Amino acid sequence: MNRVMGAVIDYFNIVLVRYGEISVKGVRTRRRMEGLLVKALKEALESFKVRGRIDVSEGRIFIWDPDDVEGAVRAVARVFGVKSLSPAYATEFTDLEDLVARASEFFSDKVKGKVFRVRARRVGSHNFTSKDVERILGAKLLELGASKVNLENPEYTAYVEIRGRRLFMYDKIYEGPGGLPLGSEENVLVLFSGGFDSTVASWMLMKRGCPVHLVHYDLGFPETVKVALEAAKFLSDNWSYGHKMRMYIVNFKGAALIVNGLISPPYRTLVMRGLMVKHAESLAEKLGIEALATGESIGQVASQTIRNIHLVERSVKLPIIRPLAGFDKDEIIKTSMKIGTYEINKKQIEVCGLAATPTPKGRLDKFEKELDKVSDIIIPDPIEIDLKNSSLQEILGKLGLK
């Protein structure tokens, strides 16, 4: 550990990682989830080429001596289960006087001329309270050139965290994505078009700890498949630490032709969706996956009314999860910006390979009659893509899409 008394300390030697929901779980679940979180953090750090020592104790994860603090912050902010994080300077102290000396040395330059406050937290037994630290350190920093104290609306907050004899000091709290570590939940197979909705839906499931795999139905538009691959690759490269995401590309061109030829226009999209979920279910069963998911949002388009959702999923037994059921489009788009996929998703043209718009209230008897017409359709085996271990160029090459 660094002990740099007497010199101006202007660097960080640790990243504090805080997790939210995991800390309210029972001991066994919590251990398991902490293990998953550490595994994901390791992978994230490796991917950002950051070296550091990960240590779990007392409901916190510490990354000691990262050789690139900025890289560590960016990596950790991409790991599900992380609520917030702070690059910090950690040292040890002997008593309150020593603590205040060390903290004022760390903060004095940073608060100079600024309206500030001190926020202290304390774990362990000490002969002083965190309020004492706030008061005494605050007075000391004023003496050293800070402008004035404002508890409500400061320009600068000096955070001090005391754990036993350890002292952590920082001034920034970055938000993590929250949720649960990947792998806390079972796998889910997402019907993935690469548009805003299915991309955000995949991310939301991962946020709740579900490792996702993706299935894309190729309706005969190479640009669409390319964008779907690009979006999938982005999720895999940037958000799936701790998981090896796969994508399945299914040749659905024949199915689209047959549906266009045989099905009455108001039922085309619904029949097409019915074929997709049925196929996705059989694929999921082969892969041992227990749930499907889509990017549907209630009432967004005529195929996503409650009635039509009911019709489409009638022939499927696996649960179909719809993480965006209650989201407005603008909320979904905002989330895509946060994830980083906005520019990719925007390129995705709205193709369902079918010109016809469904009726908002499909009739069950009619729908089943229409679906019967295509019950013996044969779908070629999907192409499996290992998103983690292949570059986008390699994938496009494999699919003849370069």
Interface ranges with Mg ion (CB under 5 A): 193, 195
Smallest gap from Cβ 96 to ligand ATP, in A, equals: 57
- Please give the Cα distance from 238 to 236 (Å, whole number): 6
Query: Which CB sits closer to Mg ion, 195 or 266?
Result: 195
Query: Which CB sits closer to ligand ATP, 93 or 239?
Result: 239
Smallest gap from Cβ 232 to ligand ATP, in A, equals: 11
296 binds, among Mg ion, ligand ATP, none (CB under 5 to 8 A by kind): ligand ATP
Smallest gap from Cβ 351 to Mg ion, in A, equals: 7
4 binds, among ligand ATP, Mg ion, none (CB under 5 to 8 A by kind): none
Which residues fall within 8 angstroms of residue 57, CB to CB, at 6 or more apart? none
Query: Which CB sits closer to ligand ATP, 240 or 294?
Result: 294
157 binds, among ligand ATP, Mg ion, none (CB under 5 to 8 A by kind): none
CB 283 within 8 A of CB 384: no
367 binds, among Mg ion, ligand ATP, none (CB under 5 to 8 A by kind): none
**What single-letter DSSP state applies at residue 45?**
H
User: Nearest 5°: CA angle at 291, between 198 and 30?
Assistant: 95
Smallest gap from Cβ 293 to ligand ATP, in A, equals: 7
Three-state SS at 364? helix
* Residue whose C-beta lies closest to ligand ATP: 195
Smallest gap from Cβ 322 to ligand ATP, in A, equals: 9
Name the packing angle between helices 306-313 and 265-287 (round to 10°).
50
Query: Which CB sits closer to Mg ion, 195 or 323?
Result: 195
CB 336 within 8 A of CB 303: no
86 binds, among ligand ATP, Mg ion, none (CB under 5 to 8 A by kind): none
- Give Cα 266 to chain centroid, integer Å: 37
Query: Which CB sits closer to ligand ATP, 107 or 192?
Result: 192
Ramachandran quadrant class, 13 (left: phi over 0; alpha: psi -120 to 50; beta: rest): alpha
Query: Which CB sits closer to ligand ATP, 86 or 224?
Result: 224
Query: Which CB sits closer to ligand ATP, 130 or 357?
Result: 357
Smallest gap from Cβ 380 to ligand ATP, in A, equals: 15
Query: Which CB sits closer to ligand ATP, 303 or 335?
Result: 303
Smallest gap from Cβ 294 to Mg ion, in A, equals: 10
| Single-letter code of the amino acid located at 353 | G
- Please give the Cα distance from 148 to 160 (Å, whole number): 18
Helical H runs in 144-216?
A: 196-207
294 binds, among ligand ATP, Mg ion, none (CB under 5 to 8 A by kind): ligand ATP
13 binds, among ligand ATP, Mg ion, none (CB under 5 to 8 A by kind): none
- Please give the Cα distance from 22 to 179 (Å, whole number): 9
Contacting residues toward ligand ATP, per CB under 6 A: 191-193, 195-198, 216-217, 219, 276, 294-296, 300-301, 303, 350, 352
236 binds, among ligand ATP, Mg ion, none (CB under 5 to 8 A by kind): none
91 binds, among ligand ATP, Mg ion, none (CB under 5 to 8 A by kind): none
Query: Which CB sits closer to ligand ATP, 154 or 274?
Result: 274
Residue 261, judged by CB atoms within 10 A of its CB (0-12, 13-18, 19+), counts as exposed
Give backbone dihedrals phi and psi of 98, rounded to 5 degrees, phi first: -65, -40
Which residues fall within 8 angstroms of residue 257, CB to CB, at 6 or more apart? none
> In Å, what is the CA distance from 136 to each residue of 38, 110, 119, 124, 128?
37, 17, 12, 19, 11
Smallest gap from Cβ 42 to ligand ATP, in A, equals: 32
Smallest gap from Cβ 102 to ligand ATP, in A, equals: 53
Q: Which two tokens stand for residue 173?
A: 């709290």
* Residue whose C-beta lies closest to Mg ion: 195
- Please give the Cα distance from 320 to 195 (Å, whole number): 18
Specify the residue for token string 């696996």: 318
